[in-house]
Structure 1
Amino acid sequence: MSLFTRFLNIDIPQQLQCNAQGKNPAFSISFQADGEIPFPQVIFHGQGTQKIIKDEAIRCIKGDKTGCSYVAEIPEGLLGGGDITVQIEGCRKADLSQAGGGDWIKEFRPLTLIAPKPATPKIESVDGVKVYFGIHKHMHQPYYRAADPNYWDGEKEEIFGSRVGNYTGFVPMAIRQYIEGNLPHGGLSTSWSGSLIEQLNRAEAEGLCGGRFSGWKNELREMVSAKTELGNPRLAFSAFGYFHPLMPLIPPRNIVRQIEWHRQLIRDQFGVEASRVLFPPETAFHVRMIPALKQAGIEAVIYDSIHRYRACRDYPYAGIEEGMLPPNPAEQINPPVDDWLQLHNVWAGSKISPSLLRPEYVAYEDPTGEVHKIIAVPAERYIGNEDARGGFGALQYPEVLGQVYEQIVKTGHFDPQHPPFFLLHSDGDNHGGGADSYYGHNTGQMVRWLQQDPRFELTTIEDYLQQFPPDPAQAIHIEPGSWSGADNGDPQFMKWFSRYDQAYSQDLNSWAVLTAFQNLVHTVEDNFPDYPALPQAIRLMLTAETSCYWYWTGQDVWDGQVTEAANLGWQRLGSAARDIAGNDRTGPTIFPPWVTPENPGGQRWGQGCLQPAPKEATVHTFIHDISGLKRVTLIMRTENGEKRLKMTNHGPYPSQTGASVSADYYTAQLPPGGGDVRYYIESEDNHGNITVGALERIFLG
């Protein structure tokens, strides 16, 4: 008999009633193929695991020239209640090690296991108070060799192969439950990096991971047409940076390009426009990003809520348990609030303010005095972090969100024109927040809870903003920082400045190398836009900005990623740089400055404690220009006026990764006792091109 090429029929129950223990009864699944299946199996996706039926549990009951029929026997108690995705598949080769992508044929069917319903007490809202929340799931894989995107090995096979559901059907599975549960505004936003999408396309084309990424986009493309009651997408592909850059630390023109590249990719791959709401990689935000975001067409940006809390006067700093230094007073310019709440039954290192959990305009003033504004959407740090453990059940939604609700009622801070709204943000492909149970069973539980509890509503960002637009006249400030998963996401972005206080820092080396490379690429682009090697160099530059390359400091393979990409770029563009000679029209590239100590005259880290910080402060930066630097000046503004300080050049940062070129390292001393200071850096190259950096803030105690 010939081997099968397709399934002819699949007979599976659509629903089954669970027993009193909430488990499935024994049942069978039958299927017919047009030939013999050497390796048939049935896989159940749900409850956070995969259950596989194969070998003796699947019997061939008939075989003739019309095909073969099989029956899979599923024992009682294997599965719990909820929605299950059943994968019926067969491999056309009995030796799986010899199987390629085209040898696996699979079909999917839904199965609902109806658990006994517990008695549900009636819940009522108080005086029309309602709390809105949304869900954001982040998907990303970097290129594991910045200079060689074709690199692939067994480790990559395992990394991608263990996330097939995350990158194919899990998100649509969750949204289908919102629709079937009649949640009028239910949906979620999701951010997918370009490096992930490119590698999934490669896996599909080359049959990597056993061919399991064949048609990986199909369910996602089908779901993008689903709309909320207001006509907005239930599945919103957030704006994002193509290669997952840490946006606060890259040049504005690269922020724009990363977003534009990503927008085009989403359009090409999914047939839909990316949202105008940005999820910045690592939820890393700094107000100096706002002009570039606006230039890229972004209307709203997601940020981690703690950086709004800490920007209030009289913020109740929680000490070292908060995982960050005290806020710098220069960041604390928002009015105080009086509804601080310590969450219980969830890890929360500090208090939150429910009244601040709503979209607002955030403002940035540049060195010329022009004010730039954008909508900022809070992602709640502690509740989102708990949701990342597995969704409904891991996070006790009714109890934890109920604390937020009760505090709003108690303090009387409910504003019907701007009701509370926050996101639960987490990786969608890692740990509990990436398990199939998050998207399947636990999402079903959340939907059933929302159907019974009028105090809360799941909504998309777009639906909320359409109903409750924030007031641009009430712009606030947000301190810099990222989400808690990045070493608590402190305002100094120390996850990406590891060992900055030592004689040599691998992280600082990568920034110095990248700064020089960015200037090379920008200069060639401005002077020779049609230079043949320029597209490859631009891609290398953007790839080298991947935030992951700073994550595992001390591991040579990661510490050298930026250098490898930059060195290859210098090889490609070196001759063009020499040809520019006296025609350079591009100003120096200035890396965003950092200050030590972080809180001059305040507190700094000691050994497991806080200790007094010196009042003397130093501003540090990297600067490069292929034509050489004529001057670098720090302009400091205080209530007494403006002062210009010459910055000291310490020469190229001493690379230990074999970098072809490294940017110069500059410092300047700030006078102690200056109070609330604004400053920026201005640099001029040897051809008179001037670059003005962003306006920064620091309090000098």
Structure 2
Amino acid sequence: MPVHHALVLNFHQPPHNLDDLLETNPWEVKEILFAMDRMPRALWGYEDIARVHLSLSGTLLESLGSPEFQEKVYGIVKVGDLLWQLQNTKLFEVLGTGYYHPVLPLIPKCDWEEQLRRWKGLAQHLFWREDFGGFWPPEMGFTVELIPLLKRMGYRYVMVDDVYLEPAEGEMSWQELRYRPHVAEYKGEEIIIIPRERELSNAQLSGMDPEWFDSEVKERTKFCDFEPLVTTASDGDNGGWFRNYTAESNFWHAFYQPFLNRARLKGEIVPTYIEDYIKEHGVGGKVKVKTGAWNTEMHYGDDFTQWQGTQEQKDALSRIHEISSALHFVKAQRQQVMPRNPEHVDYHLGEAHWHLLRAETSCNLYWGEAWVGKVHEDLNATCAELDNARRGF
């Protein structure tokens, strides 16, 4: 029986990072934009067989959708054309995510909805569509407490690293747990869980040979008594494997095109959209999902050490929670009391809120001492805007 392969690529740039790099390291901006622009170009002529899922953070989309940024990089990449090409649903399926790319289990729950809502609003505008079926948790940081919100936002499935799954009832084989969709439940709400194959995803990020991938997938799925879904997910613009502009040495030309040619010829490992697989093959049983994130470098991801391992990171997270509570307290007051100057209050509350959400960007924490100051800069701005808002009551 055929094996179905879902390819997922994650793209994220912190707020204004591309603009800053244009001033300090323009060649890196070229590499990043070339890595993105290379995707549709490499897939021209493969609309019958290629299937790629994309996660693009709100801050990245904000830059790509900016006329000012498009003008700055016009001689490098036609970003408007790129965004238009990514609307090709024969090749690309866009996944929902968080606007400022926060590690959702680490930030205040009361900020989850606005992170998701702002991303969806921008993506609906740029991609001319209302519906996004799948959700990519930034840094694959997932907790089952997200399920009711994801359902309310219209998502039907969510990506989860396979190492955090276990059967909720009965037994499942090693293959069944990893190579078919499942269902997870929280407080009466259910959502489909798509396991990310961690080991093959690591290979996808670092570089792999199509023949090796073919052999490895067949070996891992040979005992399946169902048509398996193998999902590999990695960053799509980091590392030489994706940024290398030499055709013989990058993911698209050295791996994916030969892989697609094999799929056309043999039909043994078939690219698929996750939604299409679910419609045809349904889902497996129920699973429990442990809270965790994907692995980065030497970090496993289960304790979020990458983002909260140092005292500086812990202090920044603590302050995020503290100031988020203060913001939402003032917003609740606004609903209960008519201010003397409502326009003044609403404006400054809006300014405070986006500074708070931006402070929650995962990169601010991940890069530790080098970037954690960005958290406090935005939190300081949040506090200043809250003070301004209070003056309007």
TM-score, length-scaled by structure 1: 0.51
Which residue of 2 is the match for residue 259 of structure 1?
A: 116
Q: Secondary structure at the match of 2:379?
A: helix
For residue 371 of structure 1, what is the amino acid of its counterpart? G
The residue identity in structure 2 corresponding to 1:424 is: T
Deviation at 1:482, TM superposition (A): 1.5
Question: Is the 1:301–1:374 contact (alpha carbons within 8 Å) kept by the matching residues of 2?
Answer: yes
Matched residue, 2:338: none
Corresponding residue for 2:232?
424
Amino acid at match of 2:188: V
Cα deviation 1:218-240 (Å, max 9, x = unaligned): 1441452443xxxxxx3111101
> How far is 1:539 from its partner?
1.1
Structure 1 residue 512 corresponds to structure 2 residue 318: yes
Does residue 271 (structure 1) correspond to residue 128 (structure 2)? The answer is yes
Hey, which of these two has a bigger chunk of helix by percent? 2
| Structure 1: distance between partners of 2:135 and 2:289 | 16
Partner of 2:121, secondary structure, is helix
Please name the residue that 1:549 is paired with. Answer: 364
Aligned to 1:138: 10
Give per-residue Cα distances to partners, 1:552-571, cap 9 Å, x unaligned: 2233xx12111110111111
CA distance in 2, matches of 1:354, 1:486: 27
The one-character-per-residue Cα deviations of 1:348-386 (angstroms, maximum 9, x if unpaired) are: xxxxx455321111122xxxxx32211111110000110
SS where residue 162 of structure 1 aligns?
helix
How far apart, in 1, do the equivalents of 2:388 and 2:89 lie?
51
Residues 268 and 405 (structure 1), Cα distance of their counterparts in 2 relative to 1, 3 Å cut: same
Shift of 1:335: 4.1
| Partner Cα distance (2:67, 2:30) in 1 | 10
Q: Map 1:202-241 onto structure 2 (within 5 A).
A: 202=66, 204-205=68-69, 207-209=71-73, 211-213=75-77, 215-227=78-90, 234-241=91-98
Max radius of gyration: which structure? 1
Between Structure 1 and Structure 2, how many residues are aligned? 379
Decide whether aligned partners of structure 1 residues 475 and 508 sit closer, same or farther in structure 2, where only a CA change above 3 A counts.
same
| RMSD of aligned residue pairs (Cα, Å) | 2.6
From the two aligned structures, give the one with the greater strand fraction: 1
| Conserved 8 A contact 2:132-2:154 | no
Once the two structures are TM-superposed, the CA of residue 166 in structure 1 deviates from its matched residue by: 2.3
- 2:392 and 2:306 mapped to 1: Cα distance? 39
Moved runs in structure 1, 4+ residues, more than 6 A?
Answer: none
C-alpha change, 1:477 and 1:389, in structure 2 (3 Å) is same
Query: For 2:375 and 2:152, how far apart are their aligned partners in 1?
Result: 27
Could you tell me which of 458, 469, 474 is aligned with 2:271?
A: 458
The equivalent residue for 1:532 is 347
Q: Please report how far the alpha carbon of residue 540 of structure 1 lies from its aligned counterpart in structure 2 after TM superposition.
A: 0.7
CA-CA distance at 1:207 after TM superposition: 3.7
C-alpha contact 1:357 1:420 (8 A) present in aligned 2:
yes
Give the match for residue 359 of structure 1: 181
1:322-361 map, 5 Å: 335-339=170-174, 353=175, 355-361=177-183
Q: Name the CA shift for 1:302/1:271 in 2 (closer, same or farther; >3 Å).
A: same
Q: Is the 8 A contact 1:390 1:435 kept in 2?
A: no
- The equivalent residue for 1:522 is 328
Amino acid in structure 2 at the alignment position of 1:279: W
Letter in 1 for 2:161: D
Q: 1:577 to 1:335 in 2, by over 3 A?
A: farther
Partner-residue secondary structure (3-state), 1:195? helix
Matched, 1:402 2:218: yes
2:272 maps to a residue whose letter is T
Taking the aligned partners of 1:295 and 1:216, their CA distance within structure 2 comes to 32
Q: Deviations over 1:92-127 (max 9, x none)?
A: xxxxxxxxxxxxxxxxxxxxxxxxxxxxxxxxxxxx
- Counterparts of residues 175-324 of structure 1 (less than 5 Å): 175-179=43-47, 182-183=48-49, 186-202=50-66, 204-205=68-69, 207-209=71-73, 211-213=75-77, 215-227=78-90, 234-273=91-130, 275-308=132-165, 311=166
Matched, 1:562 2:375: yes
**Aligned equivalents of 2:323 and 2:132: distance in 1?**
31
Structure 1 pair 152–283 and aligned structure 2 pair: CA distance change class (3 A): same
Distance 2:124 2:25 in 1: 27
> Is 1:443 the counterpart of 2:260 in the alignment?
no
SS at match of 2:46: helix
Q: Is the 8 A contact 2:101 2:361 kept in 1?
A: yes
Specify whether residues 518 and 141 from structure 1 end up closer, same or farther in structure 2 by C-alpha distance, changes over 3 A only.
Answer: same
- Comparing 293-302 and 487-496, the one that deviates more: 487-496
- Give the partner amino acid of 1:429: D
| Whole-Å separation in 2 of the counterparts to 1:175 and 1:554 | 40
After superposition, the C-alpha distances for 1:404-427 in whole angstroms (9 at most, x for unaligned) are 132x2xxxx413xxx311311111
Unpaired runs of at least 5, structure 2: 336-342
Give the Cα–Cα distance (whole angstroms) in 2 for the partners of residues 570 and 429 of structure 1.
Answer: 35
Task: Tell me if the contact between 2:147 and 2:190 (Cα under 8 Å) persists in the aligned partners.
Answer: yes
Asked whether 1:476 is paired with 2:287, we answer yes
* Cα distance change, pair 222–153 in 1 and its aligned pair in 2 (3 A): closer
Kept after mapping to 1: 8 A contact 2:107/2:317: no
Secondary structure of 1:376 counterpart: strand
Residues 131 and 154 in structure 2, CA contact (< 8 A), matched pair in contact too: no
Which residue of structure 2 lines up, in the alignment, with residue 163 of structure 1? 32
The answer to whether the Cα contact below 8 Å between 1:266 and 1:274 also exists between their aligned partners in 2 is no
Residue 384 of structure 1 corresponds to 201
1:55-74 paired onto structure 2 within 5 Å: none
CA contact (8 A) 1:242 1:261 kept: yes
- Distance across 2 between alignment mates of 1:571 and 1:294: 35
- Post-superposition Cα deviations, 1:301-325, rounded to whole Å, max 9, x if no partner, equal 00111111xx35xxxxxxxxxxxxx
Q: Which runs of structure 2 are paired with 1:595-674 in the superposition (5 Å)?
A: none
1:141/1:196 contact within 8 Å kept: yes
**Identity across aligned pairs (percent)?**
23
- Greater relative CO, 1 or 2 (CA 8 Å, sep 6+): 2
Distance 1:488 1:551, change over 3 A: same
* 1:269/1:334 CA distance change after superposition, 3 Å: same
1:302 to 1:174, Cα distance in 2 relative to 1, 3 A: farther
Q: Secondary structure at the match of 2:381?
A: helix
User: 1:515 and 1:579, CA in 2 relative to 1: closer, same or farther beyond 3 A?
Assistant: farther
Contact kept, 8 Å, 1:204 with 1:211, in 2: the verdict is: no
Distance 1:278 1:165 in 2: 25
Q: CA distance change for structure 1 residues 569 and 288 in 2, over 3 Å: closer, same or farther?
A: same
CA distance in 1, matches of 2:137, 2:287: 19
